[in-house]
A and B are shown apart, each in its own frame.
Chain A
Amino acid sequence: MDKMPKWADVILTPLISLILAMGISAMVILAIGESPWLALKTMIDGALGSSYGWGFTLYYTTNFIFTGLAVAVAYHARLFNIGGEGQAMVGGLGVALVCLALPWPHWGIALPAAMIGAALFGAAWALIPAWLQAKRGSHIVITTIMFNFIAAALLNYVLVNLMRPVGSMDPASANFPEGAHLPTLSGMAANVGLEWGKNTPVNITFLVALLACVLVWLLIWRSRLGYEIRALGQSEPAAMYAGISPVRITVIAMLISGGLAGLMAINNVMGEAERLVLNAVEGAGFIGIAVALMGRNHPFGVFLAALLFGFLYQGGGELALWTSIPRELIIVIQALVILFTGALDNMVRMPLERIFLAMRRKGRA
């Protein structure tokens, strides 16, 4: 018998954790001598108060959906992929190589090609840690951390020595050709006569991200492979007994995870910067961890959590602009969300379970 009803597990616990994290964040803001209420108002105004704010919020949301899904898929196989950052970085390299390879005539052709490039490169960067975990038992958390640093060094080398245009001092690739520029949502709105989100980076990738949520849901809960991934995650001996190969599933789950993280690059590299720059990922790979934890590894939860973090990210930028609160406040909030929804989960869960047990006992008596 479950200790508590499903809704309490899926909605109540993350909600209480979130409230705890936000409460402590408010105390942090108070401690540095600012008003939490004013901070919240500034953030809401800046991130959700105008179509301009929404344009940026949804742009960040797109990044976090991809990295959040990446962590979630791996987590279903009980693999903790901290390597989203590196996989997204290398995915950006894939996008840049594809976009610069041909004078693309139209984005409609460039986008699928770039997506393949992004997913392949991201997946390739997850392949070695996956294989080492599956075959040699090397802890995937450690290897993916190491691969984040190796990716940063690799990107640094490639941008400074190989992809930098002649005469440029900037460690960045050349600009992508016109035909590889993705349509922005504001441009699409303008085409149907709406004025929405002018000069914002949110682009068609947002729709791709929503599609990815649906596909991941189908994969995890409606496909044979998804069943195998979840079975392995629940119990390795049981999965083996059922004829599921742990090596195969570990590698496949990580390849999908790395591919999803890599796909983030079509948003930030192809959609926004339109060239490959150093540190293009800006920590979105790590935010994916918070997003997946918060969203309970469910695609819909990931979408909601990504929206929340998109709001925090854009709102944090506005805070730094209008108040004296640095945007690092967002990192603190992110840390608290990871701490409460991930590591201190039992702190919320144990008392809740006790309450529900007591209620049930009373109901029976």
Chain B
Amino acid sequence: MDFATIIQILDSAVRLMTPLLLACLAGLYSERSGVFDIGLEGKMLMAAFTAASVAYATGSPWLGLLAGIGGSMALALIHGLASITFMGNQLISGVAINFLASGMTVLLGQRIFGLGGRTPSLTGGGRFGEITLPFADSLQGVPFLGPIYSNLISGHTILVYVAFVCVPLTWWILSQTRFGLRLRAVGENPASVDTAGVSVTRLRYASIAICGLLCGLAGAYLATGLSAGFVKEMTAGRGFIALAALIFAKWRPWSALFATFLFGLLEAIANRYPDLDLGIITVPSMFMNALPYILTVIILAGFVGRAIPPRAGGEPYVKER
């Protein structure tokens, strides 16, 4: 394997990790505030559909992005209604949201475009273009660092850079701001936050809205950045891989970056080498695809560093009367 191949694989890993990273951070906000979210998949799917539809209709990926965020937020609101206002089971609500998105996208897609649930392909201006960073071309010739800069770091769509910026931003919000402190507190001990006179409901709705926003970015990236248009079930389990990454990262932003990079890399390798020949054994692509899930189960088992979820996660907060 030469240097150029490694750069190509890493480049592909960066593209594939972006939706995972955005969805993982989305889940991080929600779960750190004590609301379990297994509906990341559905929110991404809905966002991908609305983003692709609006981008196709208007020719603008930016309007598509807004629509994607809107679609995702609508589902996030349902989740909030069920799990915060009506104190329902957050897991069941997540399951429902996944199915709702899976069915509604095809139903609406068939109604609007009549193509069996996909949107027409986006051409040219309907997609997010790749950004060439300054001096990318002129630095191409520099040995080692040149290709890394011009082929790996440069040449992605804006949402990729947004996703990477979200990591330090999330770290800063969670650990350095008052909102972040309260958000984490509400996920560990909502009663104490309530006693301090801060509304648990409002905090949780805020974090769910952020979760919807980030899932919207992830879905829009899938449909208008990574590929050109929406295809039925195009998230293909990415929401669950993001959930796995979140556990793998033990609900921490910087670790989320590494976990999603690892999972993106696994996917990139599986795409490039369907049957990976390691000399002694051949690793089938199915194993590479299942590896994120297997690794997560191992982490959950607590044999390699224990993953402890936020303490109040999954519990609706009932104010004492």
Contacts and interface: CB of A to CB of B under 8 A. Distances in A.
**Are these two chains actual partners, yes or no?**
yes
* A-B CB proximity, top 10 nearest: A331-B103, A343-B93, A335-B99, A153-B290, A332-B103, A342-B92, A335-B100, A343-B82, A339-B96, A138-B300
B294 interface: yes
Interface string A333-344: 111101100111
A327 to B, nearest CB: 9
Contacts of A28: 104, 107
Given A145-B243, A153-B287, A334-B103, A138 B302 contact: yes
Contact of A342 (B88, B116, B289): B88
Contact of B88 (A286, A335, A345): A345
Contacts of B293: 146-147, 149-150, 153
B181 to A, nearest CB: 25
Contact of A335 (B97, B243, B289, B301): B97
Given A332-B103, A332-B104, A342-B96, A326 B289 contact: no
Given A149-B290, A153-B286, A326-B110, A331 B243 contact: no
Interface of B: 38, 78, 81-83, 86-93, 95-100, 102-104, 106-108, 110-111, 116-117, 237, 240, 243-244, 247, 284, 286-287, 289-290, 293-294, 296-297, 300-302, 309
Interface of A: 28, 32-33, 80, 82, 128, 132, 136-139, 141-143, 145-147, 149-150, 152-154, 156-157, 160-161, 286, 289, 293, 324-326, 328-336, 338-339, 342-347, 350
B99 A331 contact: yes
B87 A346 contact: yes
- Among B86, B293, B296, max chain A CB count under 10 A is at B293
Contacts of A149: 237, 240, 290, 293
A136 B290 contact: no
A147 B300 CA distance: 12
Given A132-B297, A147-B297, A339-B82, 10 more contacts: A32-B111, A139-B300, A142-B247, A149-B290, A157-B287, A328-B102, A328-B110, A333-B103, A342-B88, A346-B87
B79 to A, nearest CB: 8
A157 to B, nearest CB: 4
A157 B96 contact: no
A139 B92 contact: no
A344 B116 CA distance: 31
Q: Which of B83, B86, B95, B117 has the most CB of A within 10 A?
A: B95
B134 to A, nearest CB: 41
- The residue in A142, A150, A336 that gathers the most chain B C-beta atoms within 10 A of its C-beta is A142
24 contacts: A32-B108, A136-B301, A138-B297, A141-B91, A142-B243, A142-B296, A146-B244, A146-B300, A149-B237, A150-B290, A150-B293, A152-B290, A286-B99, A328-B102, A328-B110, A329-B103, A330-B103, A332-B103, A334-B99, A339-B96, A342-B95, A343-B96, A344-B82, A346-B87
A328 B243 contact: no
B201 to A, nearest CB: 15
Nearest to B232: A328
A347 B86 contact: yes
A134 to B, nearest CB: 12
Contacts of A145: 38, 240, 243
A345 to B, nearest CB: 6
Nearest to B290: A153
B106 A326 contact: yes
